[in-house]
Amino acid sequence: MSIPETTTHSETSNGSSQRVDELMQSMRRDLDQGILPARAFFDQDLHELELERIFARCWSFVGLESEIPAPGDYMLRYIGEDQFIIARDEDGVIRVLFNKCLHRGAPVCRAEKGNTSHFRCQYHSWLYKNTGEWSGAPFRRRAYKNLDSKDWGLMAAPHVDSVHGLIFAALDADAPTLDEYLGEMRWYLDAIFGLSDQGMISIGEPQRWRVPVNWKSSAENAMADAYHVPSLHRSGEEVGVFPDIEAGGAGGSSFHIYFDQGHGMITNRGFLPPPWDKAGFPPEVSEGLEPSTLTPQQLEYTMNYSATTFLIFPNLEMIRVPATAHPGAAPTVFTYLRMVQPDGPNAIVNWNWTLGWKTASDEFNNEAYISGLAMHGPAGIFDQDDAVVWEGAPRAGKSAFARKNNMKFNYQLGLDGMSDYGVDPEWTLPGIATTSALGEAPQRAFYKRWLREISTP
Ligand code: FES
Ligand SMILES: [Fe+2]
């Protein structure tokens, strides 16, 4: 898919927008050679373009169906930097409603989570149903005699859909279907979450915490950065909470599977010795999984590989790895989902859900929850490592010295002729597979997708 040569970025006469156009031109020129400008990680105008052309256009993950199981349940979530109410109406339909009153823009809902049939705005008490419909206002008969209620309902995401209990929304009326958007990544979602017919549930509430980094650093890392694991996270093995740092990271058993749409994953073969069974789970858990909906090929994938991380473009991440909160003890495989909420060019709010199998014992799910928190989350040893180094990219992007000298970042690992790591010609399952997780081909695919989106008005 080609990247448009020109942008019609609306304010090209403005100096800062001209800078964004120049930035994009340099990316179009250099990305194939694995070069990205540092400025891409800190620029307010570029960030506005990302909000408009990526977050307001692509499908975004907003939460789990299991978080709002009953009619009337709702929760507050974000798409880009905008807050939405994810509400299950009285008929069970999930709505994604812009949390802004049509009278003066005040939020109509302030509680993070709850159950209600209506939302009442605090400011002048306009009232909306949980379907988003306008439902009334003080002194309505005398104050709004000719108001047509159907014109004044809450604005809503035009598309909402779910896959394996994960709710996604798209703000663009012309968005493709969720299935089309996921493409062949859907095949792997089935293999990862469809291991049990009964699916996965969120254990507890999601954790949230703010980190001073650019959202893309987290996305590209979760998608494919096995290279950093034995280096940055070495202490995880040293203190005995992560079993085999080489195998879990860049060792010979890991490789990439990725897609031109900017989705991708790190997959591992033979990560753990027996008695680990399907996808790295111990027999007492995997026996309850009964993946009857999987195709023979998906089963083959499940028996031989474990997806250890993935990214669904732009900002939904998964990690499924073994770890323990008790140094030296046997590890437990945990699965967590992360939504990276951008908040300006140099801040994110991480949303972290630990998932458990409905068919697994409480004991296993609780241990997975604790293991996940020990590694990832606000107090997780891995997340603290990552946050410290990711701060560097926006700081470099912001630096006057770096800007003056056009500082560039190197994404050349795995380029033809540069490295021994290339495409695996033997791979027969969906996607492009690499021979090693050490390359950076998926990251280049991520930035190509990103560039296509921000270049397209
Ligand atoms: S701003 Fe909501 S009722 Fe006035
Ligand atoms: Fe990391």
pLDDT of 7 > 50? The answer is no
Residues with CB under 5 A from ligand 2 (ion): 386
Band of residue 12 on the pLDDT scale cut at 50, 70, 90: very low
Provide the pLDDT for residue 270: 64
Distance (Å) from CA 99 to ligand 1 centroid: 12
Task: Name the residue type at position 8.
Answer: T
Best mutation site among 126, 128, 155 for ligand 1, i.e. most ligand atoms within 8 A of its Cβ?
126
Which residues in the chain are classed under CATH 2.102.10.10?
Answer: 62-170
Cβ neighbours of 442 (radius 10 Å): 27
Name the DSSP letter for residue 42: S
Mean pLDDT of 179-196: 94
Provide the pLDDT for residue 440: 96
Over pLDDT 90: what percentage of the chain?
A: 71
Distance (Å) from CA 147 to ligand 1 centroid: 15
pLDDT of 331 > 80? The answer is yes
**C-beta of 127 in contact with ligand 1 (< 6 A):** no
Place of tokens 């701060």: 391
Which residues are CB-neighbours of 432 under 8 A, at least 6 positions away?
256, 257, 258, 259, 423, 441
Average pLDDT, the chain: 91
Provide the pLDDT for residue 122: 97
Fold of 62-170: Rieske Iron-sulfur Protein (2.102.10)
Which residues in the chain are classed under CATH 3.90.380.10?
Answer: 183-451
**Cα 351 to Cα 222: distance, rounded to the nearest angstrom:** 14
Best mutation site among 99, 102, 104 for ligand 1, i.e. most ligand atoms within 8 A of its Cβ?
104
What is the separation, in whole angstroms, between the first and last Cα of the chain? 16
Provide the pLDDT for residue 248: 52
Provide the pLDDT for residue 8: 46
pTM of the model: 0.94
Q: How many helices (H) and strands (E) does the chain have?
A: 16, 21
Which residues are CB-neighbours of 134 under 8 A, at least 6 positions away?
102, 126, 127, 128, 147, 149, 150, 151, 152, 153
Return the ligand number nearest the Cα of 376: 2
Return the ligand number nearest the Cα of 99: 1
Mean pLDDT of 199-225: 94
Which residues are CB-neighbours of 23 under 8 A, at least 6 positions away?
37, 39, 40, 43, 46
Name the DSSP letter for residue 168: E
pLDDT of 44 > 90? The answer is yes
Band of residue 115 on the pLDDT scale cut at 50, 70, 90: very high
**C-beta of 121 in contact with ligand 1 (< 6 A):** yes
- Beta strand 35-37 with 207-211: parallel, antiparallel or unpaired? unpaired
Give alpha helix (H) positions in 339-429.
362-375, 381-390, 392-398, 400-404
Cβ neighbours of 271 (radius 10 Å): 22
Mean pLDDT of 195-200: 83
Provide the pLDDT for residue 197: 80
Return the ligand number nearest the Cα of 101: 1
Provide the pLDDT for residue 251: 60
Return the ligand number nearest the Cα of 143: 1
Which tens digits make up the pLDDT trace of 340-372?
Answer: 999 999 999 999 999 999 889 999 999 999 998
Provide the pLDDT for residue 3: 63
Residue of 325, 75, 368, 61 lying closest to 219 (CA atoms)? 61
Provide the pLDDT for residue 421: 86
pLDDT of 160 > 50? The answer is yes
Band of residue 13 on the pLDDT scale cut at 50, 70, 90: very low
Distance (Å) from CA 78 to ligand 1 centroid: 21
Over pLDDT 70: what percentage of the chain?
A: 93
Which tens digits make up the pLDDT trace of 220-278?
Answer: 999 999 999 889 998 888 887 776 666 555 566 889 999 999 999 999 886 655 556 77
**Cα 66 to Cα 203: distance, rounded to the nearest angstrom:** 10
pLDDT of 6 > 60? The answer is no
Supply the CATH classification number for the domain 183-451.
3.90.380.10
Q: Given CA atoms 366, 371, 376, 378 in this order, what sign does their dihedral have?
A: positive
Mean pLDDT of 28-56: 96
Distance (Å) from CA 57 to ligand 1 centroid: 28
Distance (Å) from CA 218 to ligand 2 centroid: 9
pLDDT of 375 > 90? The answer is no
Go through 164-198 and write b for each residue having 16 or more CB atoms within 10 A of its CB, e for each that does not: ebbbbbbbeeebeebeebbeebbbbbbbbbbbbee
The number of the ligand 1 atom at minimal distance from the alpha carbon of 104 is: 1
Residue of 2, 38, 3, 7 lying closest to 21 (CA atoms)? 7
**Cα 394 to Cα 400: distance, rounded to the nearest angstrom:** 12
CB 254 within 8 A of CB 342: no
Provide the pLDDT for residue 73: 98
Provide the pLDDT for residue 307: 86
pLDDT of 1 > 90? The answer is no
The number of the ligand 1 atom at minimal distance from the alpha carbon of 101 is: 2
Provide the pLDDT for residue 424: 94
Task: Name the residue type at position 158.
Answer: P
Q: What is the 3-state secondary structure (H, E, C) of 416-440?
A: CCCCCCCECCCCCCCCEEECCCCCC
